[in-house]
Structure 1
Amino acid sequence: MRILHTSDWHIGRTFHGTSTMDALAEVLGAVTVQVREHDVDVVLVAGDVFDSATPSGAAYTLLGDALVALHETGARVIVTSGNHDSAARLGFQARLLRDGIHVLTDPRAIGEPVTVADADGPVHFYGIPYLEPAIVRQHWPEATLRTQAQTMAHAMELVRDGMRQHAGRSVAIAHCFAAGVEATAGLEREVRQGGLDVVPLSVFDGPDYVALGHIHGRQQLSERVRYAGAPLHYSFGEQHKPRGSWLVELDADGFASAEWLDLPVPRRLVTLTGTLDEILSADNVVAHADDWVCAIYTDTLPQTEPMRRLRERYPHCAMVQHQPAATSAADVRSYSERLRTAATDTDRIEAFLEHVRAGHGPTEREAELIREVLDDAVRAEALV
């Protein structure tokens, strides 16, 4: 059996104020092509289908179009809810969907699999929606569910109970932050990296494959436990992470292989660092005029209207930051230390300018103006 593992579509998310709907529609169209080309039997979407608990009408339309297109390839589609989704809104029409499209959002049904058979027998798919302990503990009052780890461990016990009742191979689908995940800037916006939110890898023992969502970059925690990541780059912190999905194959004995399938990137993301003039150089413009650009300019002083100047050359410049290059002196001595050792008002002003300019003190002209102002102040005090 061939399974395509995707996650974190985030339909409706914007990228620095720009809609991503058209780009996502293009990428999901490429997913459909891959499903057909690789004779995929089951497509999994491991949570965060929408970016908001209250999706727009256009977001529902895009989801509907994507699910119908995938279904028309002949594949079964299994969708679970993530922390960005409203389980009620995502799952309200589950009973109305055509045969072969399954939306699993009810925590009380975790142990009840969706079963798909192939020549080697049945494969049971156990969908675990995102489980917020404070919300779902009402369903299992006998269990202690204070943390995400405890809650996911309980859910996986329900999965293993289901596995004991349903002979055959098994796949679990979940949405959480698992231990062993690389902590990068591409982590979810709301992920808290304290111990309470981390689910140990051992929790997922049992199924032949575990399809995880929640992390936006491709990650392999073990041969049979993986994250597929998001189909689009949703932040500059993700720009170097590939976009795609896992093509997982099960044979008669269980997990057989997993192959990464790259997806197209509608518009590349690039971070350009240097002085503003360097970033605006002709070579950079030729190479990146059509890219999403994050510009980090290192001039000592803030430049006038940097975003306007950047967008004249880079129409898709989404972000600009001023980060003056730090000097070794600024790295060694803290602002408070420089203030403590300042003997004069001139020293204090220079310390302040070094602090706010990442180690760069006043220019020669600024130093002259500082001396003039301080001399005028001294003369005024002498006349009082």
Structure 2
Amino acid sequence: MRLLHTSDWHIGRTFHGHSTDEHLAQVLSAIADAVAEHSVDAVIVAGDIFDSSTPKSGAFTLLADALLAIRDHGAQVVLTSGNHDGPARLAHNAAFARAGGVHIKADHTDLASPVTLTDGHGEVLVYGLPYLHPEFMRSAYSDFTGSTHQDALTFAMDQIRADARDRAGGSDAQGGTPPRYVVAAHCFAASAAGTAPPETTEDTGRAEERDITRGGLNLVGLATFEGPAYTALGHIHSRQTLSDTVRYSGAPLRFSFGERSSAKGMWLVDIGVDGLESATWLELPTPRAAVRLEGTLADLVAPGAHPDAEDAWVEAILTDDQLPRDAMRTLQSRYPHAVTLAHRPATRHDAGPRQYAERVEGKSDAEVIEEFLTYVRNGAGPTEAEQALLNDALDAIDAREATR
């Protein structure tokens, strides 16, 4: 049985306010091409199909196009809902989709109903778990009393293991052999050391994902996923191998500059007669790179500077002593897709140890304004033209006060 593990498509998400729909469509088309090239039997998408619980109409069109392309190449599809998805919207017409080979798992009241796939060795069961919030679980199951995401995933996995044993004709102690099965889940799983898995991003050192922590709900122990031949995880946006059988695929597209150093792709998973045989990383195309440029504005826009960034998403860090006027507009004249700008002067003006009140004590209004501008402009006071305007304004105030 050959599976393709992907996750976190986040259809509808923007890159610093700019639509990613066109780029995501290219990447999802590449996923469909990989299905054909590698003779994939089923594609698993482990949560966060959409970026919002109320996606726009175009997001449904993009999803439908991607699913049709995958199905045209013969693979079935298993989708689970993530913390960004609206389960009811995602699962709308799920019964109709199932008839077409697209299986949507978004119902937290139906955890142990697998998608049954068949190969030359028999059945492979795919259990898709939606994002399981403990509050939803308590309302659905009278015997669930947990309060953390660990509790919710443990409860769900116990149901799955029991169902797999029942399908083998009894428990292991009674001689039954559980069938081969795969689990898809959307959560923040711990590494083998019991800690949050390390990220490969240069900046943050951790997952580039919106916070879902509410009272420690997020972390789920690796041992929770014992039993399946393979566990396809979603939620973290870069690939992670927590064990041979438990992996994150990451998002297929970069959605922030924090992800610029992480490879984007998916896992090609082969399930043999005895379980997992191999998991091979397949890289996906990068429609637009994300780069960080640092230097003075003049250096960054100099002729011939950074030609590889001209069509990339650009995060600029300006090191000028003072922030140049219209800096972003100037950057975008050279880098049309510059979307963020930060100012980090290479040298910083030392205002000394005195407090601001001490520095301006006994000074005239003009001197106080000059002191303020020097402080906020990293050592650069008012220009000659600015000083003339300030003097005129102060003289006008003095004249008005004298007439009162």
- TM range, smaller chain: 0.7 to 0.9
Q: Is the 8 A contact 2:321 2:347 kept in 1?
A: no
Q: Is the 8 A contact 2:241 2:247 kept in 1?
A: yes
**2:182 equivalent among 171, 186, 194:** 171
CA distance in structure 2 between the aligned counterparts of 1:244 and 1:351, rounded to whole angstroms: 54
Q: What is residue 202 of structure 1 aligned with on the other side?
A: 223
Alpha-carbon spacing, 1:75–1:274, altered in 2? closer, same or farther (3 Å): same
Determine if the alignment matches structure 1 residue 309 to structure 2 residue 310.
no
> What pairs with 1:99-248 in structure 2 (closer than 5 Å)?
99-166=100-167, 167-179=178-190, 180-182=196-198, 184=204, 186-192=207-213, 195-248=216-269
Q: Which moved more, 1:136-145 or 1:231-240?
A: 136-145
TM-score, normalised by the number of residues in structure 1: 0.86
Q: What is residue 24 of structure 2 aligned with on the other side?
A: 24
Q: Deviations over 1:67-120 (max 9, x none)?
A: 111111111111101111111011121101133211111112211111111112
CA distance in structure 1 between the aligned counterparts of 2:214 and 2:306, rounded to whole angstroms: 38
Alpha-carbon spacing, 1:286–1:340, altered in 2? closer, same or farther (3 Å): closer
Determine if the alignment matches structure 1 residue 288 to structure 2 residue 299.
no
SS at match of 1:109: coil
Alpha-carbon spacing, 1:193–1:249, altered in 2? closer, same or farther (3 Å): farther
SS at match of 2:345: coil
Alpha-carbon spacing, 1:341–1:27, altered in 2? closer, same or farther (3 Å): same
CA distance in structure 1 between the aligned counterparts of 2:265 and 2:322, rounded to whole angstroms: 41
Q: Is the 8 A contact 1:232 1:243 kept in 2?
A: yes
**2:284 equivalent among 263, 270, 286:** 263
Q: Is the 8 A contact 1:80 1:129 kept in 2?
A: yes
Determine if the alignment matches structure 1 residue 339 to structure 2 residue 363.
no
How far off its partner does 1:225 sit? Answer: 0.8
How far off its partner does 1:145 sit? Answer: 2.3
CA distance in structure 2 between the aligned counterparts of 1:354 and 1:224, rounded to whole angstroms: 60
Q: Is the 8 A contact 1:350 1:361 kept in 2?
A: no
CA distance in structure 2 between the aligned counterparts of 1:195 and 1:329, rounded to whole angstroms: 43
Alpha-carbon spacing, 1:153–1:274, altered in 2? closer, same or farther (3 Å): same
> What pairs with 1:352-363 in structure 2 (closer than 5 Å)?
360-362=378-380
CA distance in structure 2 between the aligned counterparts of 1:48 and 1:9, rounded to whole angstroms: 6
Q: Which moved more, 1:292-301 or 1:175-184?
A: 175-184
**2:300 equivalent among 279, 292, 306:** 279
Determine if the alignment matches structure 1 residue 83 to structure 2 residue 83.
yes
Q: Is the 8 A contact 2:360 2:371 kept in 1?
A: no
How far off its partner does 1:42 sit? Answer: 1.1
Give the alignment's Cα RMSD to 1 decimal: 3.0
SS at match of 1:170: strand
CA distance in structure 2 between the aligned counterparts of 1:342 and 1:123, rounded to whole angstroms: 76
Alpha-carbon spacing, 1:83–1:338, altered in 2? closer, same or farther (3 Å): farther
Which structure 1 segments of 5+ residues have no match? none
CA distance in structure 2 between the aligned counterparts of 1:23 and 1:314, rounded to whole angstroms: 18
Q: Is the 8 A contact 1:350 1:362 kept in 2?
A: no
Alpha-carbon spacing, 1:129–1:365, altered in 2? closer, same or farther (3 Å): same
Q: Is the 8 A contact 1:339 1:351 kept in 2?
A: no
Which structure 2 segments of 5+ residues have no match? 168-177, 191-195, 399-404
Q: Is the 8 A contact 2:370 2:381 kept in 1?
A: no
Q: Is the 8 A contact 1:113 1:162 kept in 2?
A: no
Q: Which moved more, 1:49-58 or 1:131-140?
A: 131-140
Determine if the alignment matches structure 1 residue 67 to structure 2 residue 67.
yes
How far off its partner does 1:351 sit? Answer: 10
Alpha-carbon spacing, 1:290–1:204, altered in 2? closer, same or farther (3 Å): same
How far off its partner does 1:362 sit? Answer: 4.9
Q: Is the 8 A contact 2:321 2:348 kept in 1?
A: no
Q: Which moved more, 1:177-186 or 1:43-52?
A: 177-186
CA distance in structure 1 between the aligned counterparts of 2:382 and 2:252, rounded to whole angstroms: 51
Task: Write 1 or 2 for the structure with the bigger share of helix.
Answer: 1
Query: How many aligned residue pairs are there?
Result: 367
Q: Is the 8 A contact 2:373 2:381 kept in 1?
A: no
Alpha-carbon spacing, 1:200–1:353, altered in 2? closer, same or farther (3 Å): farther
SS at match of 1:255: strand
SS at match of 2:217: helix
Alpha-carbon spacing, 1:285–1:187, altered in 2? closer, same or farther (3 Å): closer
CA distance in structure 1 between the aligned counterparts of 2:11 and 2:262, rounded to whole angstroms: 19
How far off its partner does 1:309 sit? Answer: 0.4
CA distance in structure 1 between the aligned counterparts of 2:374 and 2:4, rounded to whole angstroms: 54
Q: Is the 8 A contact 2:11 2:51 kept in 1?
A: yes
CA distance in structure 1 between the aligned counterparts of 2:272 and 2:100, rounded to whole angstroms: 25
CA distance in structure 2 between the aligned counterparts of 1:181 and 1:338, rounded to whole angstroms: 45
CA distance in structure 2 between the aligned counterparts of 1:272 and 1:193, rounded to whole angstroms: 36
Q: Is the 8 A contact 1:44 1:78 kept in 2?
A: yes
How far off its partner does 1:354 sit? Answer: 9.1
